[in-house]
Each structure stands twice: as C-alpha cells, then as structure tokens.
Amino acid sequence: MTKWHDDDTFWEQMRDRMFHHKRWEATSVEIDHVLALLNLPAAATILDMPCGPGRHALELARRGFRVTGVDRTVAYLDEARERAQEAGVNVEWIKADMRDFHLPGMFDAAINLFTSFGYFEDPAEDRQVAENFFTSLKPGGQLLMDMMGKEVLARIFRERDWHEEEDGTLFLEERQVTQNWSWIENRWIAIRGRQRVEFHLGHRLYSAAELTALLTSVGFTNVSAYGSLAGDPYDHTARRLVVLAHKPE
C-alpha cells in the first residue's frame, strides 16, 4: 500500500487546503522573517526542499536569490513552473524525493518549512534527510526548519476538529498521539456536496531538544530554537518550532 507521503492523489486533492490563498498572501512576511534569521548575502544560493508549488521559492527568487526547489509531486512542480513564468523569475525546479536528493557543497542556505519533516515511519529516513541537507550546504551554510513542535502540540492538542472551507467544503480532522508522544496519526475527511474523500496520514513529532540532537548528530553546530519564524523564544508561548542550524566552516 502506498504511503500517504508517496501518494500523488493525496497531494493533489489536498492542495487547495494546504496552499489556499491566505497562505500565499502570508508568504512575503514569512520570507521577511526567514531572511532576518538567515542574514544571507545578496544572490545567495538557497535550497527549498520540499518546495510544494513554490510558495517560498518564488518569493526568494523575486528578491534576487538563486533558488532550487525540490519536490516529489509533479503537479506541484508544474504549478511552480507556471507561476515562475508568470512572475518572470528563474528557479531551478527538480523532481526528487528528499530522502535521495543532495548536491554536495552547493547551497548557502536550505529551508524546510511548513512541517515538511518527519514524514517517514523509519527514523533512519529522517536522519537521511538531515544528512542530505548537511551535505548540500557549503561550509558555513545554514539550515532553517519550521514545524509543529511536540511541546506546542501538547499545549494546543485537540482530538477532533471540523470547519467549513471558503468553497463550502466541510473538513473534519481526527488526531491520535501514539508511540510515547513520538508520532501523531491523522484522519482527514473532506466533504463537498456528494463528494467525500478521506486520507490517513502520520508523522514523527520532535521536541526542540530531540531535533537539536538529530541535527547535531549529522554534523550541524550552533543549533538555535525559536517559537516562530519571527524569532520569538521557544517557550510556553511558542506557536511553532523553528530551528536554525549551521554547517561548520
């Protein structure tokens, strides 16, 4: 059976929920925060993996950075290419799985945003992704990751939620934390008129300490944790787990 993260149907049918117009509208401010944390030189090389339909990669390219976007979903890359052409920007789009992709010493920075880490059932595959980021960075390069941290989720956890999307779709979510708070199982149901789709997905949960330990184990140093892309402290008020890690010179 195909895992959710390898299922094109999942990514295509959930595209409008994950990348709705409000998220696109927030992109410019998010990139302001990303660049404030990274403090990169002009025209730096940046890896966005996975890049989805290019929300962050396109904005970085608009600001003059040399960007490579990597994703496994063809439909997302097709959309990203079309948007890049419309915007008149150049981005290198590559179809690849983040467990496999690396370009040794190529990038000044890499970004992994919007809880795009921890998909895989085998923790060794998470480690492989971290190693791929490390390998792909130049000496002195930086990795910026953004996800729902374990501590944040524990504070706001709800077993069930439902809401109505702008297009009238009724969206229901069920969540179950398992494996001693290391994994979360999700059941997503979308109903619109007589159409109903359902997906089951799970991902690994990381605390700030656990993610720091993983990144340190593959060679990163000076790992800092923040509670938002704006650089807020990672404390009891944190909204996200944002980690900035450095590859030694």
In the chain, how many domains are there? 2
Residue written as token pair 């890896």:
47
pLDDT tens digit string along 84-107?
A: 999 999 999 999 999 999 999 999
Do 142 and 185 lie in one domain? The reply is no
Report strand pairing: 66-71 vs 91-95.
parallel
Do 84 and 185 lie in one domain? The reply is no
Do 73 and 170 lie in one domain? The reply is no
Q: What percentage of the chain exceeds 70 in pLDDT? A: 100
CB 140 within 8 A of CB 109: no
Do 166 and 141 lie in one domain? The reply is no
Instruction: Tell me what pLDDT residue 156 has.
Output: 97
Q: How many helices (H) and strands (E) does the chain have?
A: 9, 11
Helix axes 55-62, 74-87, angle to 10 degrees: 20
Instruction: Tell me what pLDDT residue 165 has.
Output: 87
Instruction: Tell me what pLDDT residue 79 has.
Output: 98
Do 52 and 111 lie in one domain? The reply is yes
By C-alpha distance, which of 67, 55, 64, 65 is closest to 27? Answer: 55
Do 167 and 44 lie in one domain? The reply is no
CB 46 within 8 A of CB 110: yes
Do 97 and 177 lie in one domain? The reply is no
pLDDT tens digit string along 30-70?
A: 999 999 999 999 999 999 999 999 999 999 999 999 999 99
Give the torsion sign (CA, 100, 20, 40, 211): negative
24-30 long-range Cβ contacts below 8 angstroms, 24+ apart: 24/55, 27/55, 27/56, 27/58, 27/59, 28/59, 30/56, 30/113, 30/229
Distances 223 to 32, 155, 242 between C-alpha atoms, Å: 21, 24, 10
By C-alpha distance, which of 110, 113, 116 is closest to 137? Answer: 110
Longest dimension (CA), the chain: 58
Distance between CA atoms of residues 158 and 27, nearest Å = 27
Which domain covers residue 181, as residue numbers?
A: 152-202
Instruction: Tell me what pLDDT residue 17 has.
Output: 87
- For the CA atoms of 235, 204, 187, 171, the dihedral, rounded to the nearest 10 degrees, stands at 40
Do 103 and 191 lie in one domain? The reply is no
Do 185 and 220 lie in one domain? The reply is no
Do 215 and 185 lie in one domain? The reply is no
Q: What is the mean pLDDT of each run of 10 residues along the chain (249 residues)?
A: 93 91 95 98 97 98 98 98 98 98 98 97 98 98 98 98 91 97 97 94 98 98 98 98 98
Instruction: Tell me what pLDDT residue 78 has.
Output: 98
Do 188 and 136 lie in one domain? The reply is no
Residue written as token pair 């945003």:
113
Do 144 and 156 lie in one domain? The reply is no
Q: What is the CATH number of the domain that holds 233?
A: 3.40.50.150
